[in-house]
Amino acid sequence: MTNQSRRWVKSSYSGGDNGNCVELAVGEAALPVRDSKCADEGPVVEFGREAFAVFLGSVAKGR
């Protein structure tokens, strides 16, 4: 699937002024993540759902 055909969602931490931040594509087996400042030509990193859940849990705990 190409970056343009994915449904990307911007992080809620991007701020209310449409600031640039991290986006992830929803509705896929893996979770593709990209930097919204270079969305079309920048790299995409894909995480497995379990690995992403562990990452979010660690961030929430301040690790």
Name the pLDDT band for 2 (thresholds 50, 70, 90): low
| pLDDT for residue 57 | 92
| pLDDT for residue 46 | 92
| C-alpha to C-alpha distance for 16 and 43, rounded to whole angstroms | 25
Residue whose pair of structure tokens reads 């986006």 in the numeric block = 23
Q: How far is CA 19 from CA 3, 14, 27, 47, 63, in A?
A: 20, 5, 24, 24, 25
Span 8-52, pLDDT tens digits: 888 776 665 666 788 888 877 889 998 888 888 889 999 998 998
Prediction pTM value = 0.70
